[in-house]
Amino acid sequence: MRKIDGLLQAYDISHQHPANRTIRWFCVPAMFFSVVGLLYSIPPGPMEEMEFLLSHFANWATPVLLLVLVYYLTLSPPLALGMFLFAALCLAMASLLSLLLPFSLWIFCLFLFLTAGMVQLRGHRIEGKKSSLLTDLQSLLIGPAWLMHFIYRRLGIAY
């Protein structure tokens, strides 16, 4: 069995109840985005006037996402491609929201992270099982891949 199959199967065991699965479809992407947004919000350091234009590309989220994508690549190149597209969308949304929000992006992302986290804990209460995040931090990265693998299966794409 491939490592990715074992990880997805282990994650799946804790997420069998239909309500908990539905919660995952909203909260896992929300939490992934909120982490990207929080990382994006960390100032990259002192900038010259010309560097301001690059500030939307020079952020802490980009190198962290690259490391995450390398991790996904070691598990499954096809899933890594889907996660790359989702990560790029999250990065673009963080950049756009940082310009449009009337308050700091990190405030929005912190609120989103905490809200989605509380809803997910409610899902685990419904499920009657502890969150796998409490025993394995790797599940933080497996949750989005677990959702992506359902999308791939629906589209008939091998992962």
Q: 19 falls in which pLDDT band (50, 70, 90)?
A: very high
Q: Where are the domains of the chain?
A: 3-41+56-154
Residue with the bigger pLDDT between 5 and 138: it is 5
For every residue of 38-53, DSSP letters joined together read HHHHS--S---TGGGG
Residue 122 CA to residue 124 CA, distance in Å, equals 5
Residue 93 pLDDT exceeds 70: yes
Q: What pLDDT was estimated at residue 53?
A: 53
Closest by alpha carbon to 127, among 12, 48, 2? Answer: 12
What is the tens place of the pLDDT at every residue in 102-142? 999 999 999 999 999 999 999 999 999 887 776 677 888 99
Question: Can you count the helices (H) and strands (E) in the chain?
Answer: 6, 0
Distance CA 115, CA 28 (A): 11
Share of the chain above pLDDT 90, in %: 79
Sign of CA dihedral 19, 89, 83, 35: negative
Residue 117 tokens read as 């986290």
Alpha carbons 42 and 64: distance in angstroms, whole number: 12
DSSP for 131-154, written as a single string: -GGGT-TTHHHHHHHHHHHHHHHH
Instruction: Report in angstroms the alpha-carbon separations of 118 from 10, 31, 59, 137, 140.
Output: 22, 11, 28, 17, 15
